Amino acid sequence: MHSLLSDICYLLSCTHVTTIPTIPETLYTKRTLDNGLRVITAPMPHTRSVAVSIYVGAGSRYETEREAGISHFIEHLCFKGTAKRPTSQEISETIDGVGGILNAATDREYTVYYAKVARPHLDLAVDVLSDLVQSPLYDSTELEKERKVVLEELASVADSPGQQVDLMLDEMLWPGQPLGWDVGGTEDSVSGLTRAMVLEYSKRQYVPNNMVVAIAGAIDEDEVLDMLGPTLGSMASGAPQSWFPAADADGGPRCQMLFKRTEQTHIALGMHALPLSHPDRYALDLLSVLFGESMSSRLFMELRERQGLCYDVNSYVSHFLDAGSFGVYAAVDPVNGSKTVGALMNELRRLKAGVPEEELHKARELAKGRMLLRMEDTRSVSGWLGGQEILSREIKTPDDVVARIDAVTPDDLSRVVDTVLRSESLNLAVVGPHRSERRFVADLSL
């Protein structure tokens, strides 16, 4: 009887062995148009979708204190109506009508507008996104309505202790400057934004030489350039304002508390770390991976599995153009608040003893695997290329990053630990039902 097992035995007995071909890295082409617009295309011929991302050099780091939140506000307003599609419904229905995804996000160092659609609708996605960033109406009535929406968004953050504690930590790391502010601004600053301020800011920042268009999917570069030529390619270049530099605040360790009658105590520990271009950034990334970015990480195994202190605990790294941070977050029963801070500090100190090669190897494979899996998605590839270009004007391929990750050694990790884990840079933010910080700061020393 013929069976699957017999087929396998036959194949194993064959002398000819077929090797699995290596999947090539994601290739791309970059073209800078006469007006300074950078266009990046990444052909992924096996895909049925196409993703378009438009990155703009506009974010909270570009804002004065009076303008705080204006980048985020403009992102919202672009969806309220354009010259070609005067209402928000027309904008959303255009992409919804073909089963696509349309969205945007504002961060500290850029704003991104993106769409993902089936390949036959590439021209529609390019047209809609170009329309959003090139010809928003900024209608006065819609502006006032959207102001209320943004204020509600800020109110929702105030009701989220997990988000509040992150904001408190940023304010401690970079006090009195854009990098330490909420990207959405404050109630006062958003309430004070006028249509004239919106027009002035968008005219300054939303210029083609301050934009990157990144498209991934079954595409052809010439086709993309033909689509962009009459729209973004025809815009006049400008003189966008640069971002405000960061000034790290040392002098710690420091603690800031916010009393709130919550069911959990939310804890954020953080310190200054490495900027985007630092040669040790990949070593720090791997340190965070093995420390608290998976279910087999040190923090998860010790605080959750062994001690049962929390459900949610993790570490993270932020890289900015001239600054960075390394942080730890945990949410616990208020009774265990100070005990958890002590456990987190013990794990941070344990990093100073060094990381074995075996543990580093696991972190390498985890980091590479997560990155490479993302490269199968057109939206991820579009974001990968556009994000790097808008921030550093240098694009590393996945193979470039794999090589840098593989090159990290235990000695590199030790050097990063000595650089980053310093008591004078340590900051602790706590949100929960606590009146005194005394028990929380007793163990704040590295």
Q: Where does residue 153 fall: left (phi above 0), alpha (psi -120 to 50 degrees), or beta otherwise? A: alpha
Amino acid letter at 5? L
Residues in the chain: 446
Contact in structure between 274 and 324 (CB atoms under 8 Å): yes
Q: Is residue 76 helix, strand or coil?
A: helix
The crossing angle, in degrees rounded to 10, of helices 410-420 and 281-292 is 90
Query: Phi/psi zone of residue 99: left (φ > 0), alpha (ψ -120 to 50 degrees), beta?
Result: left
What are the structure tokens assigned to 126, written together? 């390019």
Q: In the structure encoding, which two tokens stand for residue 254, read together?
A: 């420091």
> Is the bond into 245 cis (omega within 30 degrees of 0)?
no
In whole angstroms, give the CA distance from residue 355 to residue 327: 19
Q: Is the dihedral of CA 290, 343, 280, 271 positive or negative?
A: positive
Catalytic residue numbers, as ranges: 75
Q: Is the C-alpha dihedral spanning 385, 288, 404, 246 positive or negative?
A: positive
Classify the C-alpha dihedral 359-365-369-372 as positive or negative. Answer: positive
Taking Cα atoms as reference points, which of 153, 136, 144 lies closest to residue 88? Answer: 136
Residue 36 sits at φ, ψ, to 5 deg, of: 95, -5
Alpha carbon of residue 174 to chain centroid? 18
- CA-nearest of 103, 62, 57, 65 to 190 is 65
Q: How far apart (Å, rounded) are the C-alpha atoms in residues 376 and 20?
A: 18
